[in-house]
């Protein structure tokens, strides 16, 4: 292993890592990222019940602080639908239905966009801001960060789908030097077959999407019905 640290080591030593290694890395990374996301949003859950219990000067939730339940419900349904589509897309890919998973992936992207748009529309209809009581501050912060994670999920799904589409007709010998790493000095491509990583990407992103959908379901119950 010491030769990996030497400047004279040929690129062939570190290139073309088996896709199984990256697949396992993606699996573990998705679990770690999902766990971190749960703990991140737990702060808003704690803030909600803590500030609600304090209710200083009875300003926890003034009467005019009332977000649209319809828009909130539609947005939550859109993310749950996106997660369900991604989970089924991973199963479709494992079953060899490549065209089907691409359709489901595109539909998941549309659902994520719908969730973001619905949240933006809801923000535009609010009659309050983050300074109008404890509930208002928690609501704005919670939903704002949810949208941030929605955008990250969209990017992850989009890049996975784009890889599947871009290389669908390619074979390894046609890949250009340094592709995937952006290093023109490499003597061969970083990844022998980029399509080999798509199944691992799908499993990872579908797992994270399912966890994020669970977080959204909790926020929907807490913010609109508790």
The 10s digit of each residue's pLDDT in 86-129 is: 999 999 999 989 999 999 999 999 999 999 999 999 999 999 99
Angle of CA points 33, 179, 182, to nearest 5°: 75
Q: State the DSSP code for 176.
A: P
* Cα distance between residue 170 and residue 194, in whole Å: 10
**Global confidence as pTM:** 0.84
Does the domain spanning 19-51+66-169+198-225 belong to CATH 1.20.120.80? yes
Tokens linked to 22: 């990256």
Alpha-carbon Rg for the chain, nearest whole angstrom, is 22
What CA dihedral angle connects 215, 58, 225 and 76, to 10 degrees? -40
List CB contacts of 131: < 8 A, sequence separation 6 or more.
Answer: 137
* Cα distance between residue 104 and residue 116, in whole Å: 19
Asked whether 219 and 41 are in contact (CB, 8 A), the reply is: yes
pLDDT at 78: 98
Residue 161 in this model has a pLDDT that exceeds 90: yes
* Cα distance between residue 54 and residue 141, in whole Å: 19
Count helices and strands (H / E) in the chain.
6, 0
Length of the chain equals: 226
Q: Domain extents for the chain?
A: 19-51+66-169+198-225
pLDDT at 79: 98
Residue 175 in this model has a pLDDT that exceeds 80: no
């Amino acid at each position: 292993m010491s030769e990996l640290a030497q400047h004279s080591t040929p690129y062939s030593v570190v290139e073309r890592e088996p896709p199984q290694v990256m697949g396992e890395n993606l699996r573990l990374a998705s679990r770690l990222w999902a766990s971190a996301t749960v703990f991140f949003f737990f702060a808003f859950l704690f803030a909600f019940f803590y500030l609600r219990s304090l209710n200083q000067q009875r300003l926890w939730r003034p009467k005019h602080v009332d977000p649209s339940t319809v828009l909130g419900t539609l947005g939550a349904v859109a993310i749950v639908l996106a997660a369900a589509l991604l989970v089924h897309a991973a199963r479709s890919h494992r079953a060899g239905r490549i065209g089907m998973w691409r359709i489901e992936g595109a539909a998941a992207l549309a659902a994520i966009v719908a969730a973001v748009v619905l949240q933006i529309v809801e923000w535009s209809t609010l009659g309050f801001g983050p300074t109008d009581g404890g509930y208002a501050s928690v609501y704005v912060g919670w939903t704002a960060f949810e949208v941030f994670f929605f955008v990250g999920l969209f990017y992850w799904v989009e890049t996975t789908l784009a890889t599947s589409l871009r290389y669908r007709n390619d074979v390894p010998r046609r890949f250009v030097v340094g592709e995937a790493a952006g290093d023109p000095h490499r003597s061969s491509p970083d990844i022998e077959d980029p399509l080999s990583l798509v199944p691992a990407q799908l499993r990872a992103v579908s797992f994270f999407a399912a966890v994020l959908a669970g977080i959204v379901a909790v926020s929907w119950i807490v913010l609109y019905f508790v």
